[in-house]
Chains A and B, each alone.
Chain A
Amino acid sequence: MECERCHQRPATVHLTEIINNEKRTMRLCEQCARELQAQAMGFFPQINLHNFLAGLLHNEFGFPTTGPTVAPAGARCEACGLTEAQFARQGLLGCGECYRYFGPRLEPVFRRIHGNTCHTGKVPERTGGKVRVINRIERLKAQLREAISREEFERAAELRDTIRELEKELQEG
C-alpha cells in the first residue's frame, strides 16, 4: 500500500488523529508520519500562508489536494501567461489581468477568505475616476437624508445641487 500523503513511498505507519471527537486514521510512510507529527507537536512554524491558500485554491480549481500536481493544458492568463496550475501551487496571481481572467472562479475563494467579494474602501485619488464620483454621491446622499431629518433645509438644498452636478458629470463621462 502506498503512503496516503506523498503517494510515493510504501505506507508503514498508521497515524490516528482525533480532532473535535472525529477519529481519522491515515496510512503513511515513515517520513510523512514524522513530518505530520512534528507539525502537530508545534515544531514547525505556523502554517505558511501561501501553502495554506494553495490548498484552498486546489479545491476551488479542481486539483487534488495532495501529491504532485500535473498542469492541465490550456488555461492561462492571456496577459502574463500564468497558468491555473501555477496559481494553485503558489497561491499568487501573476498580474492585475489575472483577476479578470480567472474572475468567476476566484469569487468562492474571496468569499472563503474575506466573506465578501466587493471592495468598499478607498479609491485612488487621481485615477479612481467614476468609482470615486459614485462613492462621493453615495456619501452626499446619506448626508442629504440626515440633513432632511434634522430639518436643515438650506444645507439639504446645497447637498442636492452638488449631487445633481456630480450625477451630470458622471453621465457626461
Chain B
Amino acid sequence: MSIRETVNNPHSHWMDGTGPESDIVISSRVRVARNLAHLPFPHLLSREKAEEVIHAVQTAIENRVFREKVGKMELTRMNELTPVERQILVEKHLISPDLLEGFERKAVVLRDDEVFSVMVNEEDHLRLQCLLPGLQLNRAWELVSRLDDGLEATLDYAFDEKLGYLTACPTNVGTGLRASVMLHLPGLVMVNQIKGVLGTITKLGLTVRGLYGEGTEAKGNLFQVSNQVTLGQAEEDIIANLISVTRQLLGQERAAREALYRERREQLEDRVGRAYGLLKHARVMTSDEAMSLFSDLRLGIDMGIIKNIPAPLIIELMVLTRPAFLVKVTGKDLSPVERDIYRAQLIRKKLSAAQQS
C-alpha cells in the first residue's frame, strides 16, 4: 500500500464500522500539534526553512526507534499530488483543507492503514493524527502519543516548562490536543432537539462543527464534537470529559430514535423507504441531496428497517460520492451536472451490488 493506493481507494480503516457504539459514533480522532524548536512557525517560514522541516521529518520517520514504535510511514510532498488527489485526502479526513493552501511547502506522512497521518507545515510544523472507527478515543490518544514519542526520539520540540507544547495559535498551546468524535444524530435532528443539545455542549468546554471541520456545515446529520481547552488539563482528562459527554449524546440520540419508532413509526419508515427508493433509482443527484438521503438510509439500517445493506457502506458512499472522488473514479473533469449524473449512477451500482451479495 502506498500514497497511490490511498488516493485510489475510497475505503479507510476509520470507515469500517467496527469500533464500539459505531451505530452513532462514526469515528474518533485525536490530533496533537507540535513544533520544532528554533524555527519560526510555518506562516513565517521561508521556503528553505520549510524544506528544512520536511527534511527533518523525513529523517525522523526513517529512524530505527521510530520504526520500532510506529512502523513504516511514508512522506509525500503535497506538490507530488494532483489537485484531485490532494482533495481526496481531505475527503478521507486524512488531512485538513488548510494543508491545500500554499501546498508547495507542505507534506503529509501516512501509515499504510491510514490510522496515522502527520501534516507537515500546516498551521504548526507537525499535526499528528490518529483516526479510528467508533468510540475509541483512549486508544487513539494512546496511539498518537506513541507516534509523538517516535518522532520526538530525534526531533527537538518547542516545549515550555510552564506552558507545555508551544503552538502557532494560542488556542492550541499546552497539550496541543484536539480530540473529536464524528456523530450521526438524525434522531435528535428529527425530534427538533439538536439545537438545545448542542447548545448545552458548548457550555461544557466543547465545540461542535460540521463534517469537514471548522467553518463547515453539518451535512448528513453528521456532527463533530471536540474539546476547546488545551491548557491546564491533562490529555487523559480532556479525553475523559469528551467521552462522558459523548455517552450522554448517545443516550439522547437513542432515546430520540426510540421515541420516533414508538410514536411516528409510519412516518419514519416512510422517510427511510423514500430515501432508499431515491438512492436506488434516481438518475441525477446533488451532493447535498445524497448526504441527506444517506443519513436517512443509514438510520433505517441502524434501526433494522432496512436489512440487506451493510452500515459501513453508507459511510464509504459518503466519501466516494464527494466531488474529488467522482473525478478520480471517472478519470475526467466533470461539470457539476455530469457529476450529479455520475454520482447517481455510482450510488445505484453500489447499492445493487450490496443487495446481491
A: which residues have CB within 8 A of B?
Answer: 45-46, 48-50, 53, 79-82, 90-96, 99-100, 106, 109-110, 113-128, 130-131
Contact = CB atoms under 8 A, between A and B. Distances in A.
A90 B164 contact: no
Given A121-B233, A124-B157, A127-B157, A82 B44 contact: yes
B231 to A, nearest CB: 4
Nearest to A44: B215
B233 A92 contact: no
Given A113-B170, A118-B231, A96 B37 contact: yes
A48 B214 CA distance: 8
Given A53-B171, A119-B164, A121-B233, A46 B214 contact: yes
B216 interface: yes
Interface residues of B, number: 47
A26 B43 CA distance: 36
B229 interface: yes
A124 B160 CA distance: 10
Contacts of A79: 40
B234 A120 contact: yes
B174 A119 contact: yes
17 contacts: A46-B215, A48-B214, A48-B215, A80-B41, A92-B123, A92-B169, A95-B158, A100-B160, A114-B231, A115-B229, A118-B231, A120-B233, A123-B164, A124-B157, A127-B157, A127-B159, A131-B161
Contacts of B158: 95-96
Contacts of A81: 44
Which 6 A-B pairs have CB atoms at the shortest separation, nearest pair first?
A116-B232, A119-B164, A96-B158, A114-B231, A45-B215, A121-B175
A100 to B, nearest CB: 8
Contacts of B203: none
Contacts of A127: 152, 156-157, 159
A119 B43 CA distance: 24
Contacts of A126: 152-153
B209 A106 contact: no
B170 A109 contact: yes
Contact of A114 (B43, B123, B230): B230
Nearest to A123: B159
A53 B159 contact: no
Interface SS of A by simple majority: loop
A122 B235 contact: yes
Nearest to B154: A126
Interface of B: 35, 37-41, 43-44, 123, 145, 148-149, 152-153, 156-171, 173-175, 177, 209, 214-217, 228-235
B171 A117 contact: no
A114 B159 contact: no
Contacts of B168: 92-93
Nearest to A130: B161
B164 A80 contact: no
A92 B43 contact: yes
B170 A106 contact: yes
Contacts of A96: 35, 37-38, 158, 160, 166
Given A80-B44, A96-B160, A106-B170, A120 B152 contact: no
Given A49-B171, A53-B170, A92-B169, A118 B159 contact: no
B85 to A, nearest CB: 25
B198 to A, nearest CB: 12
A119 B232 contact: yes
Nearest to B145: A122
Given A48-B215, A121-B175, A94 B229 contact: no
Contacts of A45: 215-217
Given A95-B40, A122-B145, A124-B157, A115 B232 contact: yes
Given A90-B43, A92-B123, A124-B152, A113 B232 contact: no
B211 to A, nearest CB: 13
A93 B152 contact: no
